[in-house]
């Protein structure tokens, strides 16, 4: 008969992780990230020098852009290889990659969380067109982030009449996951979490490869009354670490101990109250992009500038005209922002992350708005790298290559831009130091030519101009009232967009 699950301290649990293990860590920013375990693993390494030569795999970014999350594992010698979806939240890992001190790969978040299911089933990997003709395509680098990274983990293959990308499976031998409650047999629930995540495929993958699964939870109970609420069965769990709810390492997110709205649906008639931001270029972009969302649409908004669309929808009373989704699993409600991103206030449903990406990859999104670091004259976009750091693609590629309608949101210039609304017009108080539009990208995250093959409609919305993707390149279709076309748009761009009939942007976008 199976006995009670093994309950250990965090230090005792991570002491079981051997040198050379392939460690999969679950979580989304801070949600469902097993912070106590990653911190204990760092403490063990600093005290003893072990474990060494780990391979780290994770889907969503996990960190606070400082020291928490996967930043705990950013030590040379501790980690030899990192396969990750998003790097910006773990700059210490990114520094190791930039300095060529670890092997480093960047693959789409949706590919990686579904790859964990394939690894669990001992299938050869994920076959998809996500990433084709981008820096992840083996024809353009294979997602390798530095010279030290040599092994090919993605291959172009022909299946039938089409070419596909094959992301290779490899054994996972340690799984670090988190939940809310465990029973005496090790069954795990997530009732106080804002997400379900990918804990199940991580645990199945490690178990099926003869490895180790450690689960961090808030409490242990004698039994879980509803077996359908169990998200990770106890047969997969080797050790449980209990962390008190008041400990920030067990908080629902990195900033909130517990937000009931992230784990509950709204009461009948309850409407979310969003803060109304001050006038800025973000507000203009959010208002203009909002006008592109069709009624009844299922949508996704990226982190950063696209979040302004939610604020604009709340201000204009349009939140009930479409359904928000988040790549981490929430459906309905209103997406949270900052270090709470990934959760949603009062969602109507939450599904696991791999299933959400199955929906996205199959074309389930009617509309998405995403950010952009740079845009070239062909309409290609880069988001995965910035000056001096790797940002990573996260869920960007899964979304950008499959949404029916796509709007890229960014300021026209960056680095000190200041604007003011002036009676339905825009006034530039201080110009940004550099233009977001470039003649040619060094590396491509979004392939504009592929958008035509997929039949996507693509717009690029800034505070002073709106562009449309055409087969011939970017076409300028709108300019803000109060902006001079020649001196404040064309003179700042290193190429001349197609300029046919240019309409004014709606004056209501600039009301103060």
Residues 61 and 199 in one domain: yes
Residues 200 and 335 in one domain: no
CA 149 to chain centre: 23
442 lies in some domain: yes
Which of 233, 249, 265 terminates a domain? The answer is 249
Q: In which band, very low, low, confident or very high, does the pLDDT at 3 lie, cut at 50, 70 and 90?
A: confident
427 has which bridge partners?
Answer: 420
21 lies in some domain: yes
- The answer on pLDDT for 232 being more than 80 is yes
Question: What's the pLDDT score for residue 308?
Answer: 93
327 is annotated as an active-site residue: yes
17-59 pLDDT, tens digit per residue, is: 999 999 999 999 999 999 999 999 999 999 999 999 999 999 9
Of 42, 103, 118, 327, the active-site residue reads 327
By CB neighbour count within 10 A (0-12 exposed, 13-18 middle, 19+ buried), where does 302 fall? buried
- Mean pLDDT along residues 83-90: 95
Residues 164 and 17 in one domain: yes
- In degrees, rounded to 5, the angle at the alpha carbon of residue 171 between the alpha carbons of residues 164 and 107 is 40
Q: In which band, very low, low, confident or very high, does the pLDDT at 304 lie, cut at 50, 70 and 90?
A: confident
299 lies in some domain: yes
Q: 0.75 exceeded by the pTM? A: yes
Q: In which band, very low, low, confident or very high, does the pLDDT at 390 lie, cut at 50, 70 and 90?
A: confident
- Percent above pLDDT 70 for the chain: 100
DSSP sequence for 64-117: -SSSSBGGGG--BTTEEEEEES--TT-HHHHHHHHTT-SEEEE--HHHHHHHHH
Residues 242 and 326 in one domain: no
255 lies in some domain: no
The mean predicted confidence, pLDDT, of the chain is 95
Which of 225, 249, 273 terminates a domain? The answer is 249
259-282 pLDDT, tens digit per residue, is: 999 999 988 777 777 778 899 999
DSSP sequence for 206-226: HHHTT-EEEEEESEEES--S-
273 lies in some domain: no
Q: Which two tokens stand for residue 331?
A: 């459906």
| Tokens 């011939």, residue located | 472
Q: How many domains does the chain have?
A: 2
CA 310 to chain centre: 17
270 lies in some domain: no
Query: What are the angstrom distances between the C-alpha of 246 and each of 58, 83, 258?
Result: 26, 32, 10
- The answer on pLDDT for 324 being more than 80 is yes
434 has which bridge partners?
Answer: 414
Q: Which domain holds residue 172?
A: 6-249
- Mean pLDDT along residues 69-96: 96
- The answer on pLDDT for 119 being more than 70 is yes
Question: What's the pLDDT score for residue 389?
Answer: 78
Q: What does the CA dihedral 73, 79, 82, 85 come to, rounded to 10 degrees? A: -10
Q: In what order do the strands lie in the sheet with 79-84?
A: 6-7, 239-242, 212-217, 174-178, 22-25, 54-58, 79-84, 103-106
Rounded Cα–Cα distance for residues 167 and 125 (Å): 5
Residues 21 and 115 in one domain: yes
Residues 209 and 301 in one domain: no
Which of 204, 231, 249 terminates a domain? The answer is 249
Provide the b/e sequence for 265-298 (b: ≥16 CB within 10 Å).
ebeeeeeeebeeeeebbbbbbbbbbbbbbeeebb
Question: What's the pLDDT score for residue 25?
Answer: 98
| Tokens 């991103």, residue located | 341
Residues 336 and 460 in one domain: yes
Residues 94 and 222 in one domain: yes
Residues 360 and 451 in one domain: yes
Residues 353 and 221 in one domain: no
Q: In which band, very low, low, confident or very high, does the pLDDT at 1 lie, cut at 50, 70 and 90?
A: low
Residues 355 and 245 in one domain: no
Closest CA to 79 of 37, 47, 45: 45
Question: In this predicted structure, which of 7-16, 167-176, 181-190, 265-274 has the lowest mean pLDDT?
Answer: 265-274
333-347 pLDDT, tens digit per residue, is: 999 989 999 999 999
Neighbours of 197 (CB within 10 A): 31
Question: What's the pLDDT score for residue 411?
Answer: 97
Rounded Cα–Cα distance for residues 68 and 86 (Å): 15
- Percent above pLDDT 90 for the chain: 92
379 lies in some domain: yes
CATH number of domain containing 485: 3.40.1080.10
1 lies in some domain: no
Residues 228 and 285 in one domain: no
């Amino acid at each position: 008969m199976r006995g009670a699950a093994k309950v250990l301290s965090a230090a005792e649990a991570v002491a079981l992780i051997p040198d050379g293990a392939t460690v999969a860590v679950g979580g989304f920013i801070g949600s469902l990230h097993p912070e106590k375990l990653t911190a204990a693993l760092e403490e063990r390494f600093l005290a003893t020098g072990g474990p060494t030569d780990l391979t780290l795999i994770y889907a969503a970014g996990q960190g606070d852009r400082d020291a928490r999350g996967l930043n705990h594992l950013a030590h040379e010698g501790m980690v030899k290889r990192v396969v990750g979806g998003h790097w910006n939240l773990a700059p210490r890992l990114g520094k190791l990659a930039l300095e060529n001190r670890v092997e480093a790969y960047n693959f789409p978040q949706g590919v990686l969380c579904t790859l964990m299911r394939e690894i669990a089933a001992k299938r050869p990997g994920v076959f998809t067109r996500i990433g084709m003709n981008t820096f992840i395509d083996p024809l353009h680098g294979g997602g390798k982030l530095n010279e030290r990274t040599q092994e090919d983990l993605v291959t172009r293959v022909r299946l039938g009449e089409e070419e596909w990308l094959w992301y290779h499976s490899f054994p996972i031998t340690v799984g670090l996951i988190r939940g809310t409650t465990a029973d005496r047999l090790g069954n795990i629930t997530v009732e106080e979490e804002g997400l379900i995540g990918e804990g199940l495929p991580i645990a199945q993958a490690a178990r099926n490869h003869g490895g180790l699964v450690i689960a961090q939870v808030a409490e242990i109970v004698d039994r879980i009354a509803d077996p359908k609420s169990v998200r990770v069965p106890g047969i997969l769990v080797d050790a449980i670490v209990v962390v008190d709810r008041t400990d920030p390492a067990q908080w629902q997110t990195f900033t909130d101990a517990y937000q009931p709205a992230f784990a509950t649906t709204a009461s009948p008639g309850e409407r979310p109250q969003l803060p109304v931001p001050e006038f800025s270029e973000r507000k203009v972009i959010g208002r203009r992009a909002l006008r592109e969302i069709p009624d009844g649409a299922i949508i996704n908004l990226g982190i950063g500038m696209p979040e302004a669309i939610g604020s604009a929808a709340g201000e204009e009373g349009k939140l009930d005209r479409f359904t928000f989704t988040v790549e981490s699993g929430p459906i309905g409600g209103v997406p949270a922002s900052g270090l709470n991103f990934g959760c949603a206030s009062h969602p109507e449903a939450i599904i696991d992350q791999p299933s959400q990406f199955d929906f996205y990859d199959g074309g389930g999104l009617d509309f998405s708005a995403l950010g952009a670091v740079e845009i070239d004259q062909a309409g290609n976009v880069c988001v995965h790298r910035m000056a001096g750091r790797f940002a990573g693609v996260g869920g960007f590629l899964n979304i950008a290559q499959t949404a029916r309608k796509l709007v890229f949101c960014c300021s026209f210039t960056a680095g000190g831009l200041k604007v003011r609304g002036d009676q339905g017009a825009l006034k530039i108080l201080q110009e940004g130091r550099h233009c977001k539009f470039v003649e040619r990208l060094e590396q491509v995250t979004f392939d504009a030519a592929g958008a035509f093959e997929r039949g996507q409609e693509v717009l690029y919305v800034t505070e002073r101009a709106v562009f449309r993707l055409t087969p011939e390149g970017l076409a300028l279709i709108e300019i803000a009232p109060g902006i001079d076309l020649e001196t404040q748009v064309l003179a700042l761009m290193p190429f001349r967009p197609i300029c046919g009939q240019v309409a004014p942007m709606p004056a209501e976008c600039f009301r103060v």
